[in-house]
């Protein structure tokens, strides 16, 4: 799985094109729960197989596995089409209609998201069922500890730090809500400003700010993944509030509940 800041890769713009297959796939990928059609699912699946989308993104195949499980009409329709489908598609249709045991009943969904790729699987589940229980797992990522705050304090106060920032660079971080300072003349450096430094740093990285990128690149892989997951959770939730009324209502309620600072940014 990728550890970049992307998420919800299964979803795509629902815009009309000259390719009926692409249009069908876009409609299914943007939320089959909103307007189910077994025939549309088949056209979308045929497009996905033709363009080898199963290989490019495993979440695509798992989406169709779940559609076949959740919607009996889709399963019946796909089974009928399977009898006359191209030989090239037979293996992929078998994977959808006869999935391995570990892929049945959404057993592949993570209990705790550890990468943006796992987040994609959760969004795919929502787009099939329209139920927000799985979205709770994405929200939980925003409630994780602010580890960038501790990282900056340790790195800037250590004698053998991998990260060295000039006074000007420290001042630059203030633009993104990361205010560095000392409580006393000889004290240790610390982040003095409130909020979630993980989120603030990712906003800077997203803007291609060189100082934020410098801090991010100085982190080890585990910490970068932690920060990337939190950013992906925030941005994917924000993006889906614009296209799914259910998610907007979910985020409106989540923003009122105690938890991570990122909750306060959900509707921005």
DSSP 253: H
Q: Look up the pTM and report it.
A: 0.87
Q: What's the pLDDT at 188?
A: 87
- Nearest residue to 165 via CA among 238, 217, 87: 217
- Nearest residue to 25 via CA among 47, 50, 56: 47
pLDDT tens track, the chain, 268 positions: 344 444 454 444 444 557 999 999 999 999 999 999 999 999 999 999 999 999 998 899 999 999 999 999 999 999 999 999 999 899 999 999 999 999 999 999 999 999 999 999 999 999 999 999 999 999 999 999 999 999 999 999 876 667 899 999 999 999 999 999 998 887 889 999 999 999 999 999 999 999 999 999 999 999 999 999 999 999 999 999 999 999 999 999 999 999 999 999 999 8
Q: What's the pLDDT at 160?
A: 60
Length of the chain (residues) = 268
Assess contact for 68 and 96: CB atoms under 8 A. yes
Q: What's the pLDDT at 5?
A: 43
Q: What's the pLDDT at 186?
A: 79
User: CA 67, CA 73: separation in Å to the nearest integer?
Assistant: 10
Q: What's the pLDDT at 14?
A: 43
Burial class (CB in 10 A: 0-12, 13-18, 19+), 254: buried
- Nearest residue to 127 via CA among 29, 47, 45: 29
The SS3 assignment for 246 reads helix
Q: What's the pLDDT at 162?
A: 77
């Amino acid at each position: 799985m990728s550890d970049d800041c992307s998420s919800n890769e299964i979803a795509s713009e629902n815009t009309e094109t000259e390719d009926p297959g692409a249009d069908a796939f876009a409609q299914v990928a943007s939320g089959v729960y909103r307007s189910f059609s077994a025939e549309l699912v088949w056209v979308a699946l045929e497009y996905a197989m033709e363009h080898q989308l199963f290989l490019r993104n495993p979440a695509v195949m798992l989406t169709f596995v779940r559609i076949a499980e959740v919607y009996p009409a889709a399963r019946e329709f796909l089974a009928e089409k399977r009898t006359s489908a191209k030989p090239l598609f037979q293996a992929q249709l078998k994977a959808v209609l006869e999935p391995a045991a570990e892929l049945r009943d959404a057993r592949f969904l993570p209990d705790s998201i550890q990468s943006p790729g796992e987040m994609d699987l959760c969004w795919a589940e929502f787009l099939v069922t329209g139920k927000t229980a799985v979205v709770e797992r994405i929200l939980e990522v925003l409630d994780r500890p602010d580890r960038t705050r501790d990282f900056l304090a340790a790195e800037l106060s250590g004698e053998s730090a991998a990260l060295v920032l000039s006074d000007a660079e420290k001042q630059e971080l203030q633009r993104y809500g990361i205010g560095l300072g000392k409580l006393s003349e000889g004290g240790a450096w610390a982040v003095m400003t409130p909020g979630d430094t993980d989120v603030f740093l990712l906003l800077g990285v997203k803007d291609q700010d060189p100082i934020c990128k410098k801090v991010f690149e100085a982190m080890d892989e585990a910490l970068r993944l932690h920060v990337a997951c939190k950013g992906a959770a925030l941005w994917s939730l924000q993006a889906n509030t614009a296209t799914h009324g259910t998610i907007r209502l979910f985020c409106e309620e989540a923003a009122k509940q105690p938890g991570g600072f990122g909750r306060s940014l959900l509707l921005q």
